[in-house]
Amino acid sequence: MKIKQLHDYLSGYSPSPAYGYVPLFSQTGERKSVVTEFKGASKEGVPVFTNEFWTSGQRRACSLHEVSYRACFKPQLPGFFIRLLTEEGDLVYDPFAGRGTTAVEAALAGRRVVSNDVNPLSRVFTRPRFFVPALKDVQSRLAGLKIDTSAEADIDLSMFYHPDTEAELVSLRNYLLHRRCARELDALDQWIAMVATNRLTGHSSGFFSVYTLPPNQAASQDSQRKINKKRRQNPQYRGTKERILKKSKSLMRDVTPELKLKLCRAGESALLLAENAGRTAAIKSDSVKLTVTSPPFLDVVSYARDNWLRCWFNGYDTEKIAGEITIARTVEEWSEAMSVVFAELYRITAPGGWVAFEVGEVRGGKVQLDRYVPSLGEQANFECAAVMVNEQKFTKTSNIWGVKNNKAGTNTNRIVLFYKN
């Protein structure tokens, strides 16, 4: 697809995209976008397309995506661009992979995958979902896991877990770390590690912990003590094995034999990196057909603080990881870091390839990063093709889930699209 074809399609004047995928641009059936011009790029007149290009509903995506991670986008976002701008067998990349949403969605669509994130937890969440095991094998492996009833963590976790739950959790952690050190960690172990990491803390009985913050954020030990005191709660016993098995069954519910085969094929050739996004020498030049990513914003999210317990469980040094994650305090610092990333993206993007760069409003809407991104891409020799604003309308019940970041019951994603000639 060329830029003119893309513009026609996003404007609603083309009956279908070049590759035959016709998404529903809005749930009301209206396909014609609101088109304006964006003057923030060095090249004036970049069109801005505003529409409901996809609907980010959890139940509309494959169940395999239902793992929690801080500041992740919904799978419908990469899915839209993957099906619009690539064909089966094309290489799809995410330099800030997070939980691996782009990688898994690309694999489900029969694309090849490259994934990168400086945080090694990304691989913990991504790789196991390429090799989905049989539920009976998960059950058998868990049944054979020996529990040391006297096991205790090397840090104080009493504010989160009942002593018997802690013993089970520490026994599982010791088993997984031993297997990893002995290079015996197999796909089944990796699946169990991924699910257990996702069940460490949360606010329902499906998690190992007492009631706490949502699963993509770990409260500090002191904060959890305050939560327990306020709620007058003490950690009750919650069996780890049955919760891992229950979550596994839920993740697998949409995975058909056909999808399992696609995932496995993608996983066998997948390149999963843990590098600085501006230095990815392992990726061949001119090889990537599409990049879909959402970079770290300004100082909005503390990935180290939110993931300290997940890092502990997987044997990673939280402070070391925190020192490698880009957390810019100013727009100037952020732009400088992203300019290096764009230079690397230009190197690896194939001629005729695309970059979909999702950014948003930060600091209460006072900073709109999409105003700065076009010039960064153009400085790397990309052509800024368009700015897309996906505007999703919500019902009144959306307020239950805290969807209040846009007036009139809407929520938006802002994507800057680049093309390499």
Is the separation of the CB atoms in 377 and 334 below 8 Å?
no
Structure tokens at 318: 């939280």
Which residues lie closer than 8 Å to 339 by C-beta, 6 or more apart?
Answer: 376, 379, 380
Average pLDDT over residues 188-193: 98
pLDDT at 16 over 50: no
The C-alpha atoms of residue 381 and residue 384 are separated, in whole angstroms, by 9
The sign one gets for the Cα dihedral 106, 272, 354, 52 is positive
Please name every residue paired with 411 in a beta bridge, in sequence order, or none if there are none.
392
List the structure tokens of 57: 């509903």
Segment 211-215 shows an average pLDDT of 88
Phi, psi of 291 (to 5 degrees): -110, 130
- pLDDT one-digit tens code per residue, 329-385: 788 888 999 999 999 999 999 999 999 999 865 555 566 777 889 999 999 999 999
pTM above 0.75, yes or no: yes
Copy the structure tokens of residue 308: 């300290």
Task: Check residue 284 and give its pLDDT.
Answer: 98
Closest CA relative to residue 362, chosen from 71, 53, 94: 71
Q: Which CATH number fits domain 3-130+258-307+317-419: 3.30.930.10, 3.40.50.150, 3.40.50.300, 3.40.50.800?
A: 3.40.50.150
Please state which of the ranges 57-66, 158-167, 261-270 shows the lowest mean pLDDT.
Answer: 57-66
Span 388-412, mean pLDDT? 50
Mean pLDDT in residue range 218-224:
93
What does the alpha-carbon distance between residue 416 and residue 384 come to, in Å, rounded to a whole number? 7
Which of the four pLDDT bands, split at 50, 70 and 90, describes residue 417? very high
Provide the pLDDT for residue 38: 59
Domain boundaries, the chain: 3-130+258-307+317-419, 135-250
From the number of C-beta atoms within 10 Å of its C-beta (0-12, 13-18, 19+), residue 210 rates as buried
Q: Which pLDDT tens digit goes with each residue over 136-149?
A: 999 999 999 999 99
Among candidates 367, 370, 349, 351, which has minimal Cα distance to 359? 370
Contact 304, 327 (CB under 8 A): no
Alpha-carbon span 49 to 51, nearest angstrom: 7
